[in-house]
Amino acid sequence: MTDHPRETDFRTWVLEHRTRLRTTAFLLCGDWYLADDLVQDALGRLYSRWGRVVAAGDPRAYVRRILCNLHADYRRRPARREISEADVTTLSSHPHTSMQERDDDLIAALLTVPVGQRTVLVLRFFEDLSVEQTAALLKTSAGNVKSQTSRGLEALRSALLTQPSETTRPAKTEGRAS
């Protein structure tokens, strides 16, 4: 039995974009397991509206919006909040190159930035959205996006400057591979 063209198109799109969506979700929430859940929920919602979303334009913009909304909804539910003590540096089981260590340091610092500012930074610099696109996605003003970007970058700089040095950092342990 052959797939319906809509389903084939959706599967092709998901295969092309799921890794980036998962990374975006992780950068928003800081937890790979929650990121997987957010992406799965977002793709389920996207699938139910696939025809309309494709006809309207860019599915990535639509699913980005869903991810941001799902993450915000998750954070608002007190019963679902968990405090994760996993360190971002324990999420990989392979030896790190210096480039990977810098990436780990950047992600660890990013996760200390307040969530609203982190969301803006992820959309602006990882998803490469303009100020106007970010404002439209978050349903806020361009001025708010600019101020959140400025504050977020300052918080990120501060976190990077206060991270322990390579000699004082604890040894990396095995963890979940991403």
Q: For residue range 68-120, list pLDDT tens digits in order.
A: 999 988 888 765 555 555 544 444 434 444 456 667 888 999 999 999 999 99
Tens of pLDDT, residues 119-139: 999 999 999 999 999 999 999
Tens of pLDDT, residues 35-48: 999 999 999 999 99
Query: Would you tell me how many other CB atoms lie within 10 Å of the CB of residue 114?
Result: 11
pLDDT value, residue 146: 96
pLDDT value, residue 45: 94
pLDDT value, residue 83: 53
What is the three-class DSSP state of 127? coil
Tens of pLDDT, residues 139-176: 999 999 999 999 999 999 999 888 765 444 444 444 44
- Token pair in block for residue 173: 């342990």
In order of 34, 51, 66, the CA distances from 109 in angstroms are 19, 39, 25
Q: Are the beta carbons of 129 and 137 closer than 8 angstroms?
A: yes
- Token pair in block for residue 160: 């990077």
pLDDT value, residue 75: 83
| Cα Rg of the chain, angstroms | 18
Section 19-30 average pLDDT = 93
Question: pLDDT confidence of 20, banded at 50, 70, 90?
Answer: very high
Residues 6+ apart with CB under 8 A from 3: 11
Q: Which residue has better confidence, 58 or 88?
A: 58
| pTM over 0.75, yes/no | no
pLDDT value, residue 2: 54
**66, amino acid identity:** I
**130, amino acid identity:** S
